[in-house]
Structure 1
Amino acid sequence: MTDHDETAAVRPLTRAWVGRHLRAGERIVGTEALHGGTTAEMRRLTIGARGGGTRELVLRTFVGVEHAGHGLEKEAGALALLAGTGVPAPGLVAVDPAAAHCEYPSLLMTHLAGRTVLDDAGLEARVPLLARQLVAIHALRPAERPPTYVALTTADTVVTPRGADTAAWAAAIDMIRGPAPAYEGRFLHRDFHPGNVLFDVPPSRPADARISGVVDWTAASWGPADLDVAHCSTNLALLHGPAWGSRFTRAYEEAGGILAAAPAERLYWLVRDGLAFSEEVALVSRPWREAGRTELTTRAVEERLDVYLTALMNAPG
């Protein structure tokens, strides 16, 4: 068996648990740590069959994360709902949310081909693909709804960046002091952004890229489509420049997505998501740098967030 590095090793109890959920004659023959996540340990497991041949699974493990079991229960439920819908999500193999069998809360799922793409190059072609995929997710009407969305950021938890436009930020913070607008519920991914979307990109034809998977469904919820759109918009603004936030919103509508009718209601969700990022800039920017975007220091991302939020607050209408 091959472990590519020490972090790839599967803990003994977890290894035994995985083994009980494999097909007859199968065993783990290789493991590899997957990087890019912010809260969970991710490992790709190569599974060998007795007569030869292999397949791959993915093991997600939460170590020292509060309420991790609840998140894994939600993800397992979401993956079960997504089975057979056409949304390219992993298939659920097994889940141990309370760590009854594993050292830590864990989830085992099928492996999806493809890779995340965070480069600026080719973004013009990828944004419509992201928009169409999100419209397809929002179109789902499962027989059993996932839990209603949760928004943790409050006016008192926002962290205004150093050197920010204080007037714009103060106005934005005041906006979320009031009640959220009424909305028509949709099935939400709740963490939809380029880091959770896998692409198949032909080396010689990057313009022919296609989405091969959408991962990390731990926050799947029921709520306003605007919230998912706002989250992806903020991510794009911070990854690729503030103008890409509004570009994604337009692409979503061009793909057939329906957002709040009133401009003030749309602005509320965009602002709420931007303010939420203020609390975790260091956390979200680290995997971007690990993926090669070394210029996206915490300070650089803070500056982009300030420009983006100020533009939202100063936009006409």
Structure 2
Amino acid sequence: MVTGEGAADVRPLTHAWVSRYLDVGERIVGAHTLHGGITAEMRRLTIGRPDGGTRALVLRTLVGGEYAEDWVDREAAALAFLPGTGVPAPELVAADPGAAHCEYPSLLMTHLPGRTVFADEGVETRVALMARQLVAIHALRPAQLPAPYVALTTADSVVTPPGADARTWEAATDVIRAPAPPFEGRFLHRDFQPGNVLFDVPPSGPADARITGVVDWAVTSWGPADLDVAHCAVTLALLHGPEWGLKFPEAYEHAGGILAASASERLYWLVRDALASSEEVREVSRVWREAGRPELTTRVVAERLDAYVTALLDRWR
């Protein structure tokens, strides 16, 4: 969903900063808020050209949080590296991680075609496409490795959703009390999920969809492929139903991806990200309702998370 605004709605210092990176004779003539993000303000800027035409850029502004500078730095590094890799990502135009020129840490990038798709229709096609795309991302080897992954949720900080089966969640929490399994490092997007993948869905139907872009590279990391797979899997489980969370690791392997060898190691990563998602149920459900899924109330999403955690333990324990 997009709402219209004027160019004047871009903050003054940021407006001046963006203008430095425009071609001679160009100016910002419009700004539209891009809804769906949780950690940043996203605006599509309409840039007027001297010949009367327009082009689009995207402005990402992090208005708060202790990690804002780091996230802008990471995304700028990723966007500088990705051109030429075959991964469809925006191109970096400019970055101001420390807010030396803007009101807040900001990043300016090119605009990609396509849109996020949250509908159940066509999910089977999109899951296969996302699995192949994630395998391609994990195959990348940047000369400068990103920072090691960080898993903020611990066994002592897990938030059990209201109404969830307490014994099941205690068993799941016990899984992540163990040390993290050994792994072979991979280039991780770290927030690869339907909200950060753009699709072109032609009039012929969802079965002919294709990926046009992968966005939000602010938490790129170095770590186990299982962690990216787990994050996408739990998001699919909450958005489309627990069975799709179980199917995504299979789709990833079918696309050529390699996951942890043992059942206990796979369970560790899948459960870790599932438990971490309990803290975001209210926020993600709100985003999805705003995007056209009114039935995904906080309660429904929490129930799906509980069912998914139970299914993981049943399959892998």
Q: TM-score, normalised by structure 1?
A: 0.97
2:107 is matched with 107
Matching residue of 1:287: 287
Structure 1 residue ranges, 4+ long, deviating more than 4 angstroms after superposition: none
Structure 2 unpaired stretches of 5+: none
- The residue that corresponds to 2:45 in the other structure is 45
Partner-residue secondary structure (3-state), 2:239: helix
Number of matched residues? Answer: 315
Conserved 8 A contact 1:139-1:186: yes
With 200-209 and 134-143 compared, the bigger mean Cα shift is at 200-209
Q: Secondary structure at the match of 1:4?
A: strand
Partner of 2:18: 18
Most deviating of 229-238 and 6-15: 6-15
Within-5 A mapping of 1:47-86: 47-86=47-86
Q: Is the 8 A contact 1:157 1:279 kept in 2?
A: no
| Structure 1, unaligned runs of 5 or more | none
For 2:261, what is the secondary structure of its paired residue? coil
- CA offsets per residue over residues 218-275 of structure 1, 9 Å max, x none? 0101100000000000000000000001111110000000000011000000000000
CA contact (8 A) 1:8 1:43 kept: no
**Structure 2: how far apart are the matches of 1:77 and 1:131?**
24
Q: Any conservation in 1 of the 2:7–2:28 contact (CA below 8 Å)?
A: no
Query: For 1:287 and 1:7, how far apart are their aligned partners in 2?
Result: 25
- Partners of 1:73 and 1:253 lie apart in 2 by 31
Q: The residue matched to 2:130 in structure 1 has which SS?
A: helix
Bigger drift between 205-214 and 189-198 goes to 205-214
SS in 1 for 2:279: coil
Report if the CA contact (8 A) 2:229-2:252 is conserved.
Answer: yes
Shift of 1:204: 2.8
The structural deviation recorded for 1:43 is: 0.4
Match of residue 245 from structure 1: 245
Q: For residues 105-164 of structure 1, give each alpha carbon's deviation from its aligned partner in whole angstroms, at most 9, with x where no partner exists.
A: 110000000000000001111110010000000011111111111100011111111221
Q: Are the equivalent residues in 2 in contact too, given 1:7–1:33 (CA < 8 A)?
A: no
Q: CA deviation at 1:205?
A: 2.9
Q: How far has the Cα of 1:52 moved from its partner? A: 2.7
TM superposition shift of 1:7: 10
Distance 2:163 2:67 in 1: 35
Deviating more after overlay: 253-262 vs 76-85? 76-85
User: Residue 6 of structure 2 contacts residue 32 of structure 2 at CA under 8 Å; is this kept in 1?
Assistant: no
Q: Aligned letter for 1:273?
A: D
Bigger shift: residues 163-172 or 88-97: 163-172
Residue 96 of structure 1 corresponds to which residue in structure 2? 96
Letter in 2 for 1:125: T
Alignment correspondent of 1:259: 259
Give distance in 1, aligned partners of 2:158 and 2:316: 24
Q: Deviations over 1:250-302 (max 9, x none)?
A: 10000000000011000000000000001121122211111011111111111
Equivalence for 1:132: 132
Q: Deviations over 1:197-226 (max 9, x none)?
A: 000110233211000000000010110000
> 1:233 — aligned with what?
233
2:171 aligned partner: 171
Q: How far 1:53 sits from its partner (Å)? A: 1.9
Q: How far 1:12 moved relative to its partner? A: 0.7
Give the Cα–Cα distance (whole angstroms) in 2 for the partners of residues 84 and 59 of structure 1.
22
Distance 1:44 1:133 in 2: 25
* 1:6 positional shift: 7.0
- Does the 8 Å CA contact 1:140/1:187 hold for their aligned counterparts? yes
Aligned 8 A contact 2:7 2:31 in 1: no
